[in-house]
Amino acid sequence: MLPNYYTVRGFGSHEIDIEKSRFICYIKEAKTENEAQQFIAEIKKKHFDANHNCSAYLIGENDEIQKANDDGEPSGTAGVPMLEVLKKRGLKDTVVVVTRYFGGKKLGAGGLIRAYGQSVSEGLNAVGIVERTLVKVISVKVSYKLLGKVEHAIRNSNFHLEGVKHLEEVDFELWIKVGELTTFKEWIVELTNGSCQIDESIVKYM
């Protein structure tokens, strides 16, 4: 698994006008090809009256799945330029659909390539890009006499505190970057003079 990667911030859309044609870019995070295809189908249904609903997506840790569809535009003038923008931004697990309503003026092959690329680029800027970081879910249990000291130290550290449970002991749930796991363990053991129980759980992306 990658220590970190970039993807889009959920779902969003952005519209631009070029030579009286409307280009509406829809963007969504998609972790599987099925999710990407469902999203494309939803946009096509929503804009069934559009001249074109072009699409592109990148799926997988190493971009194993890459698809581009011109949806009636001249070959290579829509889907591929859209896909190239995703690649240049270094994005993973991302699907884009650009809906075009023709405004009456032909743009030519070069104009279409620029228009679809611009639509996706501006769409990404509007929706936003986020970094996903691989973390290990950690449980740290301490006695109540250490509650104040440990909670204060954690909240003032760079480690991510997800939650605190007050049970027989105080149970801190932390999400620790995989590369910082050893450093965290050494730090928490020193902080508590060894009076803590550390349990490791799942690995996930934050």
Which residue among 110, 127, 144 closes a domain? Answer: 127
76 and 137 assigned to the same domain? no
Which residue among 73, 107, 127 closes a domain? Answer: 127
Which residue among 109, 127, 145 closes a domain? Answer: 127
Range of the domain at 32: 4-127
Q: How many structural domains does the chain have?
A: 2
Give the model's pLDDT for residue 192: 97
Q: What is the CATH number of the domain that holds 166?
A: 3.30.70.240
90 and 13 assigned to the same domain? yes
Q: What is the CATH number of the domain that holds 95?
A: 3.30.230.30
pLDDT digits (tens, 9 = 90+) for 28-78: 999 999 999 999 999 999 999 999 999 999 999 999 999 999 999 999 999
Q: Which residues contact 1 (CB under 8 A, 6 or more apart)?
A: 61, 134, 203
102 and 137 assigned to the same domain? no
Instruction: State how far the alpha carbon of 3 is from the alpha carbons of 8, 99, 139, in Å.
Output: 17, 34, 21
pLDDT digits (tens, 9 = 90+) for 111-142: 999 999 999 999 999 999 999 999 999 999 99
Give the model's pLDDT for residue 42: 98
Q: Which residues contact 111 (CB under 8 A, 6 or more apart)?
A: 18, 19
107 and 162 assigned to the same domain? no
